[in-house]
Structure 1
């Protein structure tokens, strides 16, 4: 078992044994967590790091590991869920507006996640185009240019009012431009990305996080000792 985790377990046992008997087990655990992670008594003089700084360091470490886990699941979601849309479009060779297909034709009319993704997912919309949206944008650009000509003649006209297109996942059609077909295929490749591997990696990352947190005092003690040695050497050189 990792030494960091062993440290946490042994420290917890030692603290619960040392506390007054009137404290319950859960109160003892809470006291240990509070004094260890929220308001620790240690102060690393040469690192100028006390309770507040230690708490910040631990929050940063936890945040990094949580970010890694979320990124891991997001990657699998993109490959396994959003990637299904990309692979279906490629399989049906919808590589131009004229060949665009709706979600029913692609086999996803009943998938709520896909319906949401074609409207909101920036990752998916980087490669998947909506024909109706592109037609709307082209028409709006033409209206804007026509309005700009009118503004040149009449300076009192208000600014052109831009409108955004709301994709209808039940009716609109989608395609992948031929020129980014290969990039889309590689970006959303399904191979090697599974929910099981994501869960396993998340467990390992969680274990790693607790190991780092458990070994943090030893690491900081080492760094503080190094900083002390450097400071003493500098002082001796000055003298």
Structure 2
């Protein structure tokens, strides 16, 4: 481990690693020296991320996986244990926007899909990766949330509800791990130049927004061995940590 490679010999897993903030974070972690386990649904896009990681001198293991495949998440946890015996960094980035619609107009299948990806899949990841992170002397988990979790904005119900649930899940996980080496924190990127943002706000000029790479640079410090806070939310638009007052 050196100053320019603080994650050398560390294993870092990123979900939703094929585009946007996930892809940028995978590259940022690789630049910091981590071997990146890149999880995404599309093999071609994973190959592109592998190329980007190699271009910065990093290495990656590509995992084509739909996170609605709960047994696949379990198998991934087992494979990580057999290969590495631990997991040092987990960035829970994968998420979907879902329908922007009045609650009463949301189709049951669309509701089930967004709950499956934004909430259930992350719980399955916690269930599978928590033991691995606790086997690391410097386990770090960063869970991506949204400002929508704190607003009851019309037509954003499914997304906001699942993100609110995800925040409570992450804070509960942090509270349950408060006396150990594992640190669990939330990251709110705010408006970022991504395809999801463009879908939600089609009239917005994306060039006025920060890039995924800028967000990834702010995520990296939360993944480092020296970051000792837990149960906090880093709000990227404000550039600061917010305290949820975890019980001691």
Is TM (by shorter chain) over 0.5? Answer: no
More strand by share: 2
TM-score for both structures, normalised by structure 1: 0.19
Relative to the length of structure 2, the TM-score reads 0.19
Structure of larger gyration radius: 1
Specify which structure has the bigger relative contact order, considering alpha-carbon pairs within 8 angstroms and separated by 6 or more residues.
1
